[in-house]
Structure 1
Amino acid sequence: MSIDVSKQVYESEATGWQRGLYDDLKTTFHAPVVNWFFRTLMANQPAFFRYAWGQLKPAFETRAFAQYEVTYRDTVLSILEDDHALPQYTPSAVGVSPAEFREAHGQLATLDTMAPRLAFVFELLDTALSGEQIGSSPSEEWAATAPFPTLDRQQSRSVTMIPFEDVPDSLADTVTAIREYHGFDSGLPTIYRSLAQWPSLLDTMWDDLESVLESTAFEAACVSSWSHAEAHVSSLPYTPRLAPADLREIDLTDDDVAALQGLADQFRHGPVETVLPAVTLYANVLGASGPRNGIQ
């Protein structure tokens, strides 16, 4: 048994407790979007998702998580800035209007907020569903249990995307290069389907940043970002009960658990390993990055 990742419950379709959970997720994540991963869980394993969100939510509400988010972003960008002169774009430089630039900026700000959260979720679920210990080195610091602070964020917007089959022909070579680089056999990640709404922007970004993404510095940034997510999973003061034995206690079958293990492995160890750090890079060059310091 495997999970059908093409089957989703979209926000517009969610009702009752499902709509409430989506609203809670967006509020907790400080981002007006429900990621494809969560929509897939809702469609395929709603009982698991409802239970898992109750286990996961407290992890996002501490000051330590804010520190994790800020450090994640700075980890990626500091490594790249030490090795590359990263561009900073204006509307005229990428061939879009000021209004289009603002929209792209807002959507990238949202995706930049999501990136460290998704990295944490994928790391935690893969660890838990593999039967490995979460919170193996719980932090004793004040921040570990203190509330999440107010962060000075860029103004975010809901993320809109072009269906893969509707991506303009003018982007064919760029899309082929993107898929080959990240290792996608089909489809295109959210970040690129969003940017494809402005073909000249995506073309310019890819032309300028392809060499950065292929560099040893970006490889190091990816390793460091995932190591940072792993360290935060290890430091959790509250331990979500998401091991296979815990899931069997809520009446999930062995087939259900195996399907969830496969999904978690796919999202933790697949192309997303390079996609999430790339989101941080794309947001930075458009001036849409969230905070990189200021949390003590």
Structure 2
Amino acid sequence: MDPSTQLYEQDATGWQRGMYEDVKTTLRAPIVNWFFRTLTANEPVFARYMWGQLKPLFQTRAFGDYTVSYRDTVLSALEDGSPDLPRYRRDDLDVRPAEWRELRGQLATFDIVAPRLALTFAVCDRAMNDGPLESDPDDAASMAPLPPWLDRDRGRSVTMIDDDGVPNDLSDAIDGIREFHGLEGGLPSIYRCLAQWPGYLDLAWTDLEPILESAAFERGCDDADAVVDAHLEKLPYVPRLSPTALADQGFDKSTVEELQEFVRSFNRGAIETVLTAIFVYAATLDAAGERSL
């Protein structure tokens, strides 16, 4: 696995192009995450098999309940235990109307994707590393269809800058962001996106740093983990992603071990606070999604 090698959407052809379209349609967001792009570039056969196993998990009402609960637990924890979140208007950021629409729209895309990625990473990591998942649906929502309106017509296509393209006047903010999340490699996509609007990111980080470092945010992250764990106990079916299942599909031991390490790196460490912080940024611009069904 070479994490620097990705198959971007504009370069995808054939079944890979079709799968990317399916990923975006199923996840209801105009973006194919780095996780999928890297797997498709390095292990295309596995990426196709994995997506076939994962796709049904995103199509139930119980999944919709999970996505809004995951978001709500983070924001509710902050509302209950920290100073009010800052709320910015366009005039506060001195941006043109078109820039304002792009900023809010792209941030809304990350807000949509965050709960979906959290579940993707957790399912893959648990199935491939920690032992079997369980399927014990106990109500109609576990098998009922995902509401068609949820997260529809939200978000805009995402653009980002390279790590070496971050404006110099953001250096202090980026240093603080790296230290808070414990980042050692490149910046996560959300920050490479927000860095396109340095006036917003610099102001938001200054205002949000003490909130993100608070006990309330830590509690929100723990509560979000609990929401994921609870949903994993009631999946509509069990994806066949265990090492044994992958061996049965013809994947050799060394490939499976590389895949195990890859998915583990996404589900553990800095990614937890990166995903949950997305909701906090989105809330500052009134770009966060539903918090209940």
TM bucket (normalised to shorter chain) is over 0.9
Is the contact between residue 128 and residue 134 of structure 1 (CA under 8 Å) also seen in structure 2?
Answer: yes
1:171 aligns with 2:180: no
The whole-number CA distance in structure 2 between the counterparts of 1:127 and 1:62 is 20
The whole-number CA distance in structure 2 between the counterparts of 1:266 and 1:72 is 21
Is the contact between residue 95 and residue 201 of structure 1 (CA under 8 Å) also seen in structure 2?
Answer: no
Q: Which of 44, 51, 54 is the equivalent residue of 2:52?
A: 54
Q: Counterpart in 2 of 1:124?
A: 123
The whole-number CA distance in structure 2 between the counterparts of 1:174 and 1:70 is 29
1:187 aligns with 2:186: yes
Q: Write out aligned runs for 1:1-296 (5 A).
A: 3-84=1-82, 85-136=84-135, 138-153=136-151, 155-293=154-292, 295=293
The whole-number CA distance in structure 2 between the counterparts of 1:130 and 1:164 is 31
**1:239-262 Cα shifts (integer Å, max 9, x gaps):** 111100000111111111111111
Q: Residue 130 of structure 1: SS of its match in structure 2? A: helix
Count residues in correspondence: 291
Q: Residue 23 of structure 2: SS of its match in structure 1? A: helix
Give the Å deviation of 1:98: 2.2
Is the contact between residue 131 and residue 244 of structure 1 (CA under 8 Å) also seen in structure 2?
Answer: no
The whole-number CA distance in structure 2 between the counterparts of 1:174 and 1:194 is 14
Give ranges in structure 1 of 5+ residues lacking alignment. none
**1:165-192 Cα shifts (integer Å, max 9, x gaps):** 1111111111111111111112111111
The whole-number CA distance in structure 1 between the counterparts of 2:116 and 2:270 is 17
| 2:157 alignment partner AA | S
Is the contact between residue 135 and residue 236 of structure 1 (CA under 8 Å) also seen in structure 2?
Answer: yes
Q: What is the TM-score with the length of structure 1 in the denominator?
A: 0.96
| 1:8 alignment partner AA | Q
Identity %: 51
Q: What is the TM-score with the length of structure 2 in the denominator?
A: 0.97
Query: Runs ≥4 in structure 1, deviation > 6 angstroms?
Result: none
Is the contact between residue 64 and residue 150 of structure 2 (CA under 8 Å) also seen in structure 1?
Answer: no
Is the contact between residue 151 and residue 291 of structure 1 (CA under 8 Å) also seen in structure 2?
Answer: no
Moved more, 227-236 or 237-246: 227-236
**1:272-294 Cα shifts (integer Å, max 9, x gaps):** 0100000111111111111111x
The whole-number CA distance in structure 2 between the counterparts of 1:166 and 1:186 is 15
